[in-house]
Amino acid sequence: MAIFKHLRVSGSVVAQGDGKLPAGDPDPPPAADGAHGPPVTGEPGSTKAWTWRGDFGASLVVVLIAVPLSLGIAVASGAPLVAGLISAVVGGIVGGLIGGSAVQVSGPAAGLTVIVAGLVQAYGWAATCAIVAAAGVLQLLLGLFRVARAALAVSPAVIHGMLAGVGVVIALSQLHIVLGGTPQSSALDNLIELPGQLIRNHTLTVATGLLTLAVLIAWPRLPTRARVIPAPLAAIAAGTGVAAVLGWDVARVDLPADPLGALVTPQWPDGSWTSIAGAVIAVALVASVESLLCAVAVDRLHDGRRVNLDRELAGQGAANLTAGLLGGLPVAGVIVRSTANAKAGARSRRSTVMHGVWVLALALAAAPAIELIPLGALAALLVAIGVQMVNLAHMRGVHQHGELPVYLLTMAGVVALGLFEGVLIGLGCALLLTIRRLASIHVRVTPELDGSVRVAVDGSLTFLSVPALTRALTAVPARAVVDLSLNIDFMDHAGVTAIDDWRTGYERAGGTVRIDEMLEQWYAPGKSGLPRPVRRTPPVRNRAAWHPLATTLSGRRQLEEGTEEYQSKVAPLVRPLLSELAHGQRPTQLFITCADSRLVPNMITSSGPGDLFTVRNVGNLVPRHGEADPNDSTIAAIEYALAVLPIRTITVCGHSACGAMDALLTPGSAGNMPYLSGWLRHGSHSLDRLSSRPDGPDRLDRLGRENVLQQLENLRTHPAVAAREAAGELELCGGYFDIAEGRLHILSPAAPVTV
């Protein structure tokens, strides 16, 4: 137990210096949040009492599911029936005490059935127990070294395909028992022998199995109150009750008279070290991956403490070590039991531990009742579980991600060849699919009206995609001006060489090549020998043609180059959005701001096309009601926005170093501009507002802020604005953009608030 002193949960040490777990609850509830949290006194209604009640009720529900499932998995694995109960007890108590999940329930898992059945056939049961114990030690070490999350790196398509293949194998083998026969050594043999099994007459066994299956199928369709009893328990009870009442002579569960005396002592298997090591690794990896995926999935079903995957892996290892030493099946997190535990109201690991205690009590005290269960009923339960493991929702999910071939090949490999071979096939297929995606590159060659050619390359440019790239580049017309745009997220040496060789050859033949890297620079550093790519800032690139240093370009040429850059780089990205907006606009924000060129509304608000209905004028002024010219475009825009558009917010945004505010502070500065002077009279109320405030530094900045608040007051003089605001249908907001800091402040009448 000393190794657990290194594992932590939620930032606190979960084991003390002596290596023992701390005393008290196995998973105490989180502390209440000050005065707003419930009391923690332990009295009725307290958090602790409420948690105990939820855990107790959930443990009773889970045990009703665990007992029949554990017996059925033991039958399917070719192990002694008591081995399933041992693992259910150990998974609950040991896994619950040490594991890192609040609600996951561990025990015999259907996903390990194929492996265990093969080990029992190859080495015998006692040797299989030793392999299980060794797998537990390996899991403990993996948990100690904190590599649990590495198990999540396996493709979900491989995992789901593996479980689906195991489900098919289980269903085919247990179907023979339902029909009164004996399973064959492989899934294909079971499939071949199935017609002959159907011909043979085993009426009573078949009737027991069909009755169990009928209850399992019909149970989810019953009213909610009837479904308080878990479907597996109801199905097994129905099959057992009918067989017992009618006195059917069918094979039944046979438990040892002394369960404790029937514990098996593990024996190290005879065989090569490589085969034994492979068996240990297979059990450890499959159990680990299944447990960790289950823990992640069940974590979404509750709002308590999140799972610690490394601790959970160590807990699974401790449970498997204990189960192997006691003669039990391998243990893993089981999604059926864990889901039932969470939905039944479990709040902590106490529920898992109590469920293990109840299984032990039933095994010791209710053995005669358990021995009434027909094997055909257990087999029917396993058939249903096997069919459910071929999950159509998982198939749809992997199909949406283009990984259905991986799923199907893994499933087929597990069924036809075995679990290990099937997983290898699935991993190989997933790797090939990944390589194919890495090799995929999209090259577009577009002739322009001026005779130039635009070539756009998107994707990852590696040695795998060089053939496709060179094939496309050879189709470029000779002796043209080529604009090569590289929208590349990665480029290796082969990609750099391919582009450089083509560029050199093309220019020697009389052509011109201009290379522009849109995202990160891979080609230029690769050609010059720089060690890593250089990231470019998109806003700088988008203004390249307009940069003040570009003094050699005329205004028209700046416009043309900017337009060309937009058409080649930005238009393809925004075209899908613009196509949706082509038939109309529905902005909810009216944004009134200054005409200053340094203020870009969409940039400072992180908005895009269709988001802002923008009105710009000198000084972001709003004429008061009754003072506006009948032809005033600002008031016309406000009128249109409120009458036609679904506007919910009007924002007035000013900025620092505003020329209009400076003109207000300097009388006569706009004397030779009569239209501007006439317009600025709408700012006189802002000057009055500033004069009523205490003096302070930087009058220009203070006037800019006061002007925003004054324009909001001016807006309220308009009846349409006032009525909508009073009805709660419109919100007025002020903003002030500090150009030097690049920061937008939200203003209130009391004080500015920095955002």
Strands 520-521 and 512-517: unpaired
Nearest C-alpha neighbor of 164 from the set 110, 117, 119: 110
Residue 37: helix, strand or coil by DSSP? coil
Cα–Cα distance between 56 and 290 in angstroms, integer? Answer: 26
Contacts of 414 (CB under 8 A, 6+ apart): 114, 161, 162, 164, 165, 166, 168, 169, 421, 422, 423
Cα–Cα distance between 634 and 349 in angstroms, integer? Answer: 65
Cα–Cα distance between 503 and 442 in angstroms, integer? Answer: 19
For residue 744, what are the β-bridge partners? 737
Cα–Cα distance between 289 and 165 in angstroms, integer? Answer: 16
DSSP annotation of 7 = -
Nearest C-alpha neighbor of 204 from the set 138, 249, 235: 249
Contact at 8 Å (CB) between 328 and 86?
yes
Name the strand (E) or helix (H) holding 353.
helix 350-365
What is the rounded end-to-end Cα distance, in angstroms, of the chain?
51
Residue type, 389: M
Contacts of 653 (CB under 8 A, 6+ apart): 591, 592, 593, 594, 599, 601, 604, 620, 708, 734, 735, 736, 737, 744
Name the strand (E) or helix (H) holding 754.
strand 752-754
Cα–Cα distance between 746 and 755 in angstroms, integer? Answer: 7
Contact at 8 Å (CB) between 715 and 732?
yes
> What region does 515 belong to: left with phi over 0, alpha with psi -120 to 50, or beta?
beta
Name the strand (E) or helix (H) holding 413.
helix 404-416
DSSP annotation of 32 = P
Tell me the two tokens of residue 542.
Answer: 């988008």
Task: List, as residue ranges, the binding site.
Answer: 594, 596, 655, 658
Contact at 8 Å (CB) between 88 and 337?
no
Contact at 8 Å (CB) between 264 and 128?
no
Contact at 8 Å (CB) between 356 and 98?
no
Nearest C-alpha neighbor of 111 from the set 386, 326, 344: 386
If you write DSSP's letter for every residue of 355-393 in order, what string do you get?
Answer: HHHHHHHHHHH-HHHHTTSBHHHHHHHHHHHHHHHS-HH
Cα–Cα distance between 742 and 737 in angstroms, integer? Answer: 7
CA 480 from centre of chain: 48
Q: Which residue do the tokens 């991993």 mark?
A: 427
CA distances from 185 to 161, 175, 188, 253, 424 (A): 21, 14, 9, 22, 21
Would you say the C-alpha torsion 419, 421, 426, 430 has a positive or negative sign?
positive
Treating both helix axes as pointing N-terminal to C-terminal, what angle do 81-98 and 47-77 enclose, rounded to 10 degrees?
Answer: 150
Task: List, as residue ranges, the binding site for Zn(2+).
Answer: 594, 596, 655, 658
DSSP annotation of 252 = B
Cα–Cα distance between 560 and 562 in angstroms, integer? Answer: 5
